Amino acid sequence: MRIRTMTTADLGFADTLCSIAGWNHTLDDWRRFLALEPTGCFTAENAGGAAGVATTTTYGNKVAWTGMLLVHPNARGQGIGTALLNHCLEWLRHRNVTCIKLDATPEGQSLYEKLGFRTEWPLARWERTVVPAGLHAESAASETESCECLQPARNPDAVRSMLDRIEEFDTKAFGVSRRKVLASMLAAAEFAAWLPPRADAEPQGYGLLRRGSRSYYIGPAVASPSTGRSVINQLVRAASGRPLYWDIPDAQTEVIALAESLGFRRQRPYLRMHLGENIAPGRPSLQLGIADPAIG
Ligand SMILES: CC(C)(COP(=O)(O)OP(=O)(O)OC[C@H]1O[C@@H](n2cnc3c(N)ncnc32)[C@H](O)[C@@H]1OP(=O)(O)O)[C@@H](O)C(=O)NCCC(=O)NCCS
C-alpha cells in the first residue's frame, strides 16, 4: 500500500466512495477540497489501484481540518484508514499547524482519542425530509424582511461585497479567517442571506444554502440565535420544500428549538475534536450551523 497526493483524476473515485458511504458531498465539493489544498489531499493505493482518500484544509498555521476519510468497502480492515489519517496528521505537522480539528462520527471517537484528540463540543446532523403542513407559509410570513438575500449564480459581483462584509464577523465566530473557503462556497451557493441589509451597518449574521448529492444543506450559518432566526427562515424558504440537512452544535438550544419548529429531526451525532492546543476556539455560540464536517 502507498499513499500519494490526490490529483483531479482521482475525483471520480473519491465521489464514488462518498456515494457508497451515503454522504452528501458532490463532485464540486471534491474539486473545492483539492483546489483549497492541492498538495494536502491524499489517495491510498493497494495492488488493485485506488483504495481510499482523505483531505486536509489549513487555515493559516493556527488551525487545520482533516476529513473525508473514506476507504472502499473491499479494502477495509487492512490499516488503510489509519495510515491515511496518520499521513494527514504528519503532513499538517510538517506545516507547523498548532491545532488539528475534525468532526468525528461516534464510531471514530475512540480511534481519535487514542491518537490524542480531545473533545471540543458535540453537534448533530438535523434533517428535514417532509415539510409539515402550514409551516412553509408561516416561515415565509415571519421575520424575513430584515435580511438581504442573494442568488450568487445570478449576481457574481455581489458575492465579493458580501464576502468583504461578513469576513470579520465570521472570523470572530470560527476563530480564524476562512475567507478562501467562504469565497468558494458562496460562489457556488444556491442562496445566501445576511443582515442587516444596510452596507454601512455592523454585520449581525449570514447563512448559505448549498446543494448536496442527497439533500440541500444549510451552512455555514453565523449569527446570534435571536438574530439568526430570520436568516434561517430565509434559507428554509429558499429550499422550497426540498429535503434539507443542517449540522447544529448541541449547545445551541434556542436554534434547535427553531429547527424542531420548522420540522427538522435529529439524524446523527458528531463530535468536534482537536489535537494540539485549541488556540483559536472562536465563539461557538455564534455558530448556528457549521460549514461542513470535513472542513469545519
Ligand atoms: C472508517 C474507515 C475510513 C476505516 O477504514 P479502514 O481502512 O477499514 O481502517 P483501518 O483498517 O485502519 O481500521 C482499523 C480499525 O479502526 C477503525 N477506524 C479507523 N479509522 C476510523 C475512523 N476514522 N472512523 C471510525 N473508525 C475508524 C476501523 O473501523 C477498524 O476498527 P476494528 O479494527 O475495530 O474493526 C472506513 O470504514 C470507511 O470508509 N467508513 C465509511 C466512512 C467513514 O465513516 N469515515 C470516517 C468518518 S469519521
Residue with CA nearest ligand 1 atom 22: 108
**Rounded Cα gap, residues 136 and 237, in angstroms:** 7
How many angstroms is it from 8 CA to the middle of ligand 1?
24
- Amino acid 197: pLDDT: 73
**SS3 of residue 249 by DSSP:** strand
How many angstroms is it from 108 CA to the middle of ligand 1?
7
Q: Which amino acid is at 268?
A: R
**Rounded Cα gap, residues 270 and 217, in angstroms:** 16
**Rounded Cα gap, residues 181 and 33, in angstroms:** 9
- Amino acid 142: pLDDT: 53
State residue 29 phi and psi, 5-degree precision.
-60, -45
Ligand 1 atom at shortest distance from the alpha carbon of 103: 48
Residue with CA nearest ligand 1 atom 9: 81
- Where residue 177 falls (left for φ over 0; alpha for ψ -120 to 50; beta otherwise) is beta
- Amino acid 280: pLDDT: 96
Residues contacting residue 47 through CB under 8 Å, at least 6 positions apart: none
Q: Along the 296 residues of the chain, how does pLDDT read in single tens digits?
A: 999 999 999 999 999 999 999 999 999 999 999 999 999 999 999 998 999 999 999 999 999 999 999 999 999 999 999 999 999 999 999 999 999 999 998 888 988 999 999 999 999 999 999 777 666 544 544 555 578 898 998 888 888 888 998 999 999 999 999 999 999 999 999 999 998 877 777 889 999 999 999 999 999 999 988 889 999 999 999 999 999 999 999 999 999 999 999 999 999 999 999 999 999 999 999 999 999 999 99
Pocket test for ligand 1, best of 20, 82, 103 (most atoms within 8 A of CB): 82
> Cβ atoms within 10 A of the Cβ of 148, count?
17
- Amino acid 138: pLDDT: 47
**SS3 of residue 244 by DSSP:** strand
User: Ligand 1: residues within 6 Å at CB?
Assistant: 21, 69-71, 76-82, 104-105, 107-108, 111
All domains in the chain, ordered by first residue: 2-97 (3.40.630.30), 125-269+280-289 (3.40.630.90)
Residues contacting residue 181 through CB under 8 Å, at least 6 positions apart: 36, 57, 59, 291, 295
> Cell for 244?
434539507
- Amino acid 135: pLDDT: 62
How many angstroms is it from 177 CA to the middle of ligand 1?
31
Ligand 1 atom at shortest distance from the alpha carbon of 17: 39
